[in-house]
Amino acid sequence: MTDMKRRSPVVFPFEIKKTEPWEHWTVVTEYKSEREDLWIVDLSHRPRWDIQNNALSDLKPLDFAIPDTPGQCRLEKGVLINRMNRTQASFWQLTGERFEMPDDAAFTDTTDGTLFLAMVGREVPLVAEKLSALDFLDPTTTSPRLFQGPFAHVPCQMVLVDKSDDKPGILLTCSRGYAKDMVAAIMQAGREFTLKPAGQTAFNRWVESLT
């Protein structure tokens, strides 16, 4: 399987400056005309697992603790764990090397079946509120916080990672089949704010700045 090739469902119509191979994916690390203050990044190559178990709080995948309350998230060492409901959580590896998935029936690898995007910048909540009725600006919520509901009419999991005024960020996953239309809808909504794609390098820097 050395020549296996994995493709992201996302293509941004912008000129790429740098790519690098990673786990059979070709990852864009930098685009030519990146913006510092508002960008979207394709993270579909980053490993994601679904964890489902009746006694979820007793599980500690790779020594990462799962939050107790649905809606709560925990960001630790480049890994984001989101509690979805009583029996389910999602495990997103945002940066760093890929972890081997535990050999346990509770774990399902969802990487190849889902789209994964991140939007970062001060205007991100304004872009999001054009596409969803979910209230990302609710002053009573704290970040990181999981939202589950329609975004551009597509059922999504979204995490408001940072709600600071300076550089708030939203991570979003949905079924892979919606990728093309989801990206088109976000780029259209972000046009008035000059939303542009960025590579994994900019995203890594942002995640580092959070911890």
Binding letters toward another protein, positions 36-75, x by CB under 8 A: ----------------------------------xx----
2 three-state secondary structure: coil
Nearer to another protein, 29 or 72 (CB): 72
Amino acid at 95: T
21 three-state secondary structure: strand
Instruction: Give the span between the Cα atoms of 189 and 78, in whole angstroms.
Output: 29
Nearer to another protein, 26 or 52 (CB): 52
**Binder among 155, 164, 184, 209 for another protein (CB under 8 A):** 155
85 binds another protein, rule: CB under 8 A = yes
Interactions with another protein, residue window 109-128 (CB under 8 A): none
Q: Are strands 38-42 and 196-197 parallel, antiparallel or unpaired?
A: parallel
Q: CA 154, 160, 199, 78 torsion: positive or negative? A: negative
Which range, of 37-45, 58-66, 145-153, 201-209, touches another protein by CB under 8 A? 145-153
Backbone φ and ψ of 186, nearest 5°: -70, -45
Amino acid at 208: E
Q: Is the peptide bond before 168 cis (omega within 30 degrees of 0)?
A: no
**Binder among 16, 84, 101, 126 for another protein (CB under 8 A):** 84
Q: Are strands 154-162 and 145-151 parallel, antiparallel or unpaired?
A: antiparallel
Task: Give the binding-site size for another protein (rule: CB under 8 A).
Answer: 12
CB of 85 to another protein, least distance (A): 5
Q: Where are the alpha helices (DSSP H) in the chain?
A: 124-131, 179-190, 200-210
CB of 70 to another protein, least distance (A): 4
**Binder among 4, 21, 133, 166 for another protein (CB under 8 A):** 133
Nearer to another protein, 1 or 133 (CB): 133
Binding residues vs another protein (CB under 8 A): 70-71, 84-86, 88, 133, 147-150, 155
